[in-house]
Amino acid sequence: MVLSKYGYIGSRLWYFLSVLVLIIGNSGLAQAEPDVKYISDVLVVNLRSDFNEPYRVVTRLQSGDQLEIINIENGFAQVRTTENISGWVPAKYLKSEKPKKQIITELQHKIEELENNLAQNESAPLPPAQLNSVSEERLTELTEEIHKQRETITLLRKKNESLSTKNSQLSASIAREQKAIARLENKIQEIQKQKDIELQHVDDLSPMRLSADKRFLLYMFIAGGIVFFGGLISGRFFLKSKRRFLH
């Protein structure tokens, strides 16, 4: 009876370990792809038709969206989405590491798959022909492996909970930062409007200032002329008076 139990556990554990190795192997291959980037943990990023002005928004990208890098120029990256849409985004919003949101989703799927495989292995009957093919020592090792896999599932759950908490905190922090940015942008717009109004007021006053400057120059010219002719007449009068006095 003990051998039957161990034989059943050993046979099903091989299948479980094979599935686990396949999952980890595929995950490693996906992360090693050099030309793939992800949108970082921000809310929304616009995909532009060009990085120069004027440009139009082609589509909006969400945090975790996978992008293929085509070119990088002047701080912008030309990318292609999984829907084969091309455009430009600021390179600072791209990173090689998967965002926390996507890691959490993958961890949840991995935990569910491991739990389902383990449940199937524990509930499926073992063919009688395989009962005598596994030694008791090997069955003990396989039982320990099952225990380790249960611990792995527990650790994955804790990691998932930790990442979920950090992701919630990060999302709240991003929301606060974006509100602050929005307030600053509104303040900048108000300052720009006030500046435009002042510049318009200056432009309106410019003709008046020019006219006043012209009048001032005219007055100075007239005053200078009066002083000049007054001095000339006074000089002539003084000379005549001096001659009369001498005679």
Distance of alpha carbon 187 from its chain centroid, rounded? 22
Could you tell me the residue ranges of all domains in the chain?
2-184
Q: Compare 152 and 135 and report the one with higher pLDDT.
A: 152
3 band by pLDDT with thresholds 50, 70 and 90: very low
* Averaged pLDDT of the chain: 68
Whose tokens are 């395989």? That residue is: 130
Q: H-type helices in 55-135, by residue range? A: 100-123
Spatial distance between the Cα atoms of 94 and 38, rounded to a whole number of angstroms:
6
Distance of alpha carbon 20 from its chain centroid, rounded? 34
Using the 8-state DSSP alphabet, how is residue 81 labeled? Answer: E
Residue 1 has pLDDT above 70, yes or no: no
Mean pLDDT of 139-166: 71
Spatial distance between the Cα atoms of 181 and 175, rounded to a whole number of angstroms:
10
Mean pLDDT of 99-107: 71
Q: What pLDDT shows up at residue 5?
A: 44
Mean pLDDT of 216-232: 71
Which one is the CATH code of 2-184: 2.30.30.40, 1.10.3720.10, 3.40.50.2300, 3.30.70.330?
A: 2.30.30.40
Specify the length of the chain in residues: 247
Task: Estimate the crossing angle of helix 2-31 against helix 136-246, to 10 degrees.
Answer: 20
Q: Compare 236 and 63 and report the one with higher pLDDT.
A: 63
